[in-house]
Structure 1
Amino acid sequence: MSTIPLDYETLRLIWWLLLGVLLIGFAIMGGRDLGVGTLLPFAARTDAERRVLLNVVGPTWEGNQVWLIVGGGVIFAAFPPLYAVSFSGFYLAMIVILLALILRPVGFKYRSKIKDDRWRATWDTVLFIGGFVPSLIFGVAVGNVLLGAPFHVDGTMRAFYTGNFFMLLTPFALLCGLVSLGMIGTQGAAVIAGRTTGPLAERARTYGSLAGIVTILLFALAGVWIAFGIDGYAITSTVDGNAAINPLGKSVELTRGGWLANYGLYPWMIAGPVLGFAGLAGAVIGLQARLRLASLLASSVAITGIVATAGLSLFPFLLPSSTVPEASLTLWDASSSHLTLFIMLLVTVFFLPIILLYTAFVFRVMRGTVSTQSLEKNPNAY
């Protein structure tokens, strides 16, 4: 261990940050596809317009899922106790998300194979479900993390989840789901407005502006609810960032509005909610002013701020326990070994730039406006 140039505490912090980057990356990149799918039955009125939307995101949606896959892999390798509890406890919710995501590639491939109105309408519904359901449930999951999950850990470090799927559908969790749905819808509208023209782009601007305004209100309501309506968690015992993992080796107390404590301890964290509100406002202004790139960048900033707000509020908690608070999983007691984190960091330093460069190359190649005329010239269009 002494040969590793970074101490255990620093590596844990680095991987907490990298996990946040991956989740934000998926929300921004995957949000393009999920948002367009969610807006499909509203922004597009004709078969030609729906084909345009499919081809706006069709060539790049598979690459965008890399962020989700890598994020899940990081949870598995860097924070195995978190993986064990969340992927088993939220199993049914994750199955619903996966089924919805699986519907999307099938819809892309088969939707235009047959020139039949009922056939295509069915696949349009499938694509809508594939965008709407994950956007909502991802937010519901974040809401349940803030509320705390019903699990405990025994003396042998085995985790036991005692909840069920319907326990996840609380009012606050559903509010977080609506915030997620709104920010993803705004992102999808910005993509449509930036890549299409005519009535399709105009409707996207209308729906995107509405989604942005509603999300501002919902995000503010969630903040008030967190301050006055739910308990936050705080570690009251001494924390050793270099100690071996032991979720039961700490004491935790709950206080009303406790999730706001970090903003007093680390004032710079206020950048999270500020970016969320400013990004949403910028997206609405950009859509109304027909600033294509500016509205998409502002929407991405909003997603960054909203996701970061959840992570910064929870720090250092990864998954609080609502039944046995002392068993809550934190950054300091739910990570892999010192050596594992270091080897993973070396691999990440090598591969992450490659992924970023390839992503930039693909989006550069696929840039430009998509229209019914361009689809007629492309025999490989969806």
Structure 2
Amino acid sequence: MIFDYPTLKLIWWLLVGVLLIGFAIMDGHDMGVGTLLPFVGRNDEERRVIINTVGPHWDGNQVWFITGGGAIFAAWPLVYATAFSGFYWAMLAVLWALFFRPVGFDYRSKIHHAGWRRTWDWGLFVGGAVPPLIFGVAFGNLLQGVPFHFDANLVPYYTGSFFGLLNPFALLTGVVGSAMLTFHGAIYLAHRTEGEIQRRALRAALIFGVLMLAGFSAAGLWLAYGDFGYVLVTAPDPAALPNPLTKSAVHAAGAWLANYGRQPATLALPALAYAGGLAALALAARRRTLAAFVASALALTGVIGTAGVSMFPFVLPSSTVPGASLTVWDAVSSQRTLSIMFWATLIFMPLIIAYTGWAYRVMAGKVTAAYIREHEHSAY
């Protein structure tokens, strides 16, 4: 093994972040397009154009979501088990919403009936709009701390309620999550379409881009002046086997901003969120849609990276027993597991990126109403 245990723990914190960002960029623009579908498309033909911009890619992009969930399960088993205890109904809501995507894409155009197609259009809307909202709410609860603790056998106990997750700050971060993926999807849609659909997509990009930046700013101010944050009093040994009960931590208002003072270079992440968002808006206004898409991807990277860096080394803080909080150092799998996963990731992630890039290159170009009419039986 080339890397020691503490280094592998840090590497996997970074890799999980990369997978979450990859999911937001790749599957996120599919979900954003689904969210906009009933509103940007004014008739059946326009909606078929919109669906065909993401139809060939959406299932491949969902690999990022599956891989991210699998990586959390394998690299951070305690986080996975504890989070699903607390967010069980929320995760089920995500799963139920995602059910509409495969059947919506496959069944929507099978029957030439207006009511049938409208139903699946709204199903695709649910599959695109609900997951980002819930993921944003989940991040808001992570930043506040989740009410859980462990017994002596490390069995997690969640002491909150489902409706307790729907607090004002979490709803704000839910808006940020929803807005940033809808913004990203609107720019992608503008890049793949033309005419009136493109104009509507650009208007949607302006609305949701401004909403994302405003919500991100409001959440940052709330973190700065609100009663949020945790600090380690006695840190776990980074080289020790994972045991979250070997440390102590306390709640400390404003602690989530401390990392930026200790490591000023991390300020590049919130700066990237603003710079990428503003650049995407400016480029989209000039109809430089490919560059705008890259800029919005950088904005998403900045937003998600800001949340991760703010909480480091915490991954899942406990609001009821802060000492039971899960951190980068004490929520992980064994050194052998992390090492095997690292080499597997090193081999397969470049292959996934290369294949995805090839697929987008092959199916690049505008999707038009003429294309839909010419491919009536093969298009979505």
Moved more, 280-289 or 170-179: 280-289
Moved more, 111-120 or 293-302: 111-120
Aligned residue identity for 2:27: G
1:190 to 187, 190, 193: 187
Pairing of 1:333-344 with structure 2 (within 5 A): 333-344=330-341
Residue 225 to residue 371, structure 1, CA distance change in 2 (3 Å): same
- 2: CA distance, partners of 1:51 / 1:195: 13
1:100-150 CA-to-partner distances (Å, cap 9, x unmatched) read: 111111111111112221111111111111111111111001101111111
Query: Which residue number corresponds to residue 208 of structure 1?
Result: 205
- 3-state SS of the aligned residue for 1:236? strand
Shift of 1:239: 4.0
- Is 1:324 aligned to residue 321 of structure 2? yes
If the length of structure 2 is used for normalisation, what is the TM-score? 0.98
- Is 1:315 aligned to residue 312 of structure 2? yes
Q: 4+ residue runs of structure 1 moved beyond 3 angstroms?
A: none
1:284-324 CA-to-partner distances (Å, cap 9, x unmatched) read: 11111111111101110111000101101010111000110
- 1: CA distance, partners of 2:12 / 2:229: 23
- 1: CA distance, partners of 2:159 / 2:356: 41
- 1: CA distance, partners of 2:110 / 2:120: 11
Contact 2:146–2:318, Cα closer than 8 Å, also in 1:
yes
- 2: CA distance, partners of 1:252 / 1:135: 30
Query: Which residue number corresponds to residue 346 of structure 1?
Result: 343
- Is 1:123 aligned to residue 120 of structure 2? yes
Contact 2:45–2:372, Cα closer than 8 Å, also in 1:
no
Shift of 1:194: 0.1
If the length of structure 1 is used for normalisation, what is the TM-score? 0.98
Pairing of 1:193-272 with structure 2 (within 5 A): 193-272=190-269
2:92 to 88, 95, 108: 95
- 3-state SS of the aligned residue for 1:65? helix
Aligned residue identity for 1:237: T
Aligned-residue CA RMSD (Å): 0.9
Aligned residue identity for 1:292: T
Moved more, 249-258 or 232-241: 232-241
- 1: CA distance, partners of 2:293 / 2:277: 10
Contact 2:135–2:177, Cα closer than 8 Å, also in 1:
yes
Query: Which residue number corresponds to residue 378 of structure 2?
Result: 380
Moved more, 300-309 or 231-240: 231-240
- 2: CA distance, partners of 1:110 / 1:290: 33
Unmatched segments (≥5 aa) in structure 2: none
- Is 1:176 aligned to residue 173 of structure 2? yes
Identity of aligned residues (%): 54
- 2: CA distance, partners of 1:73 / 1:54: 28
Contact 1:186–1:283, Cα closer than 8 Å, also in 2:
no
- 2: CA distance, partners of 1:239 / 1:260: 21
- Is 1:58 aligned to residue 55 of structure 2? yes
- 2: CA distance, partners of 1:339 / 1:114: 52
1:111 to 108, 112, 116: 108
Contact 1:209–1:283, Cα closer than 8 Å, also in 2:
no
- Is 1:284 aligned to residue 281 of structure 2? yes
1:336-380 CA-to-partner distances (Å, cap 9, x unmatched) read: 011111111111111111111111111111111001111223331
Query: Which residue number corresponds to residue 151 of structure 2?
Result: 154
- 1: CA distance, partners of 2:348 / 2:212: 35
Aligned residue identity for 2:174: G
Shift of 1:256: 1.2
- 2: CA distance, partners of 1:88 / 1:152: 11
- 2: CA distance, partners of 1:367 / 1:238: 50
Contact 2:85–2:156, Cα closer than 8 Å, also in 1:
no
Shift of 1:5: 2.2
Q: How many residues align?
A: 379
- Is 1:136 aligned to residue 133 of structure 2? yes
- 1: CA distance, partners of 2:205 / 2:335: 45
Moved more, 238-247 or 144-153: 238-247
